[in-house]
Amino acid sequence: MVGLIVSVLIGLNATKVITDKTLMFFREAQSGISVTAFYIAATITATFEQGFSAFVGSVLAFLILTPDIEYPVYLWNFFLLSWLSVSWAIFLAIITPVQSVATVVGFFNAFFGLLFCGRVSPGTFTALYDSKNPALAVFSGFFSPLRFFVEGFAVSEAQCLPIQSGYTVAKNAFNYPTYQESYSYSYDLTFMAQTDLGSATTQSCSGWFWWVPATFAVGITIRIAGLVAIHFSGRSQQGKKSFREELADDYQKCQAGMRPKSQSIILAGTLLLISFTGFFVLSCWLILRENPE
């Protein structure tokens, strides 16, 4: 529940970097400023602002709960929750009418966060780790800000408990886990971390971070999609031609030698498409990859 509240609040705050500057952005875009530069600046600003909020939240949670696990576990979980929440908030703020942004972002984070976090159907951990349905695991990893937050915390906490009382086992263990009733996640633990059991079942209070690379890659993929979206959205308000006309004009100028090919919109778009495809494939691989036990 804490993760859901944090995700929604961070998402709503992150949209302001776009919605509060919409008119200014259109005015400056008509004056010829770089749309890409504006997007990168807005993304960096929102990441730092909401990352600081996540840092404060992680400190408060750690001080209030006084857990056995180390503080970096809280820091990474909260920061990467903000990383995904900000990524989707900016993307949705770009493609959604300003008056509906708060509703759409709040609903998106709550709906997908709950249904695909691993705790409830249809996105239960059993289904997410079903080798016959990898599409659900990928969908959850991309669309649910809470997907890795819930599992990361649960496995890290159980991993810190004594042998065979949480998620850790001794080499001679049998009838595992012995004390299921002692831990609130005991049922779900049977189905968590199925692609990295070797690390997850080794006792440690330093945390379980198998999911960190996947979260970073997903966030970058969504942000690249946002960069594409901001170039397509509101072109008339930006004082620009339709995208088809822009491409035709760019091609003609490059052919006539009026514009260097290194500055071609077509080249930039191609590189952007390659980058998006590369990070999407990398994200899928990181979500589905299996570490040997």
pLDDT, tens digit (0-9, with 9 covering 90-100), for 56-87: 999 999 999 888 899 999 999 999 999 999 99
pLDDT band at 42 (very low <50, low <70, confident <90, very high): very high
The pLDDT of residue 190 = 65
The pLDDT of residue 192 = 83
HSE-up (13 A, CA, CB side) for residue 230: 25
The pLDDT of residue 167 = 63
Higher pLDDT, 21 or 143: 143
The pLDDT of residue 132 = 82
The pLDDT of residue 283 = 95
Cis peptide preceding 72, ω within 30 of 0: no
Q: What is the CA radius of gyration of the chain?
A: 22
The pLDDT of residue 177 = 47
* Spatial distance between the Cα atoms of 1 and 5, rounded to a whole number of angstroms: 6
Mention every residue, 6+ apart, whose C-beta is less than 8 A from residue 103: none
Q: What is the mean pLDDT of the chain?
A: 84
pTM (2 decimals)?
0.86
Percent of the chain residues topping a pLDDT of 90: 41
Q: pLDDT digits over 266-276, tens only?
A: 778 888 999 99
DSSP the chain: -HHHHHHHHHHHHHTHHHHTTHHHHHHHHHTT--HHHHHHHHHHHHHHHHHHHHHHHHHHHHHHH--SS-HHHHHHHHHHHHHHHHHHHHHHHHHS-GGGHHHHHHHHHHHHHHHTSBSSTTSBHHHHT-TT-HHHHHHHHHH-TTHHHHHHHHHHHHHTSPTTTSS---TT--SS-S-GGGSTTHHHHTTTTTT-HHHHTS--SS---TTHHHHHHHHHHHHHHHHHHHHHTTTTTTT---HHHHHHHHHHHHHTTSS-GGG-HHHHHHHHHHHHHHHHHHHHHHHH-----
If you average pLDDT over residues 136-152, what whole number do you get? Answer: 92
Cis peptide preceding 122, ω within 30 of 0: yes
The pLDDT of residue 183 = 47
Q: pLDDT digits over 216-229, tens only?
A: 999 999 999 999 99
The burial class, CB within 10 Å (0-12 / 13-18 / 19+), for 35 is: middle
If you average pLDDT over residues 124-153, what whole number do you get? Answer: 89
The pLDDT of residue 118 = 83
pLDDT surpassing 60 at residue 173:
no
pLDDT surpassing 80 at residue 168:
no
> By mean pLDDT, which of 9-13, 44-48, 183-187 is the weakest?
183-187
If you average pLDDT over residues 206-224, what whole number do you get? Answer: 93
Q: pLDDT digits over 226-248, tens only?
A: 999 988 887 777 777 777 777 77
Q: How many CB atoms lie within 10 A of CB 236?
A: 9
Q: pLDDT digits over 102-128, tens only?
A: 999 999 999 998 888 888 888 888 888
The pLDDT of residue 181 = 46
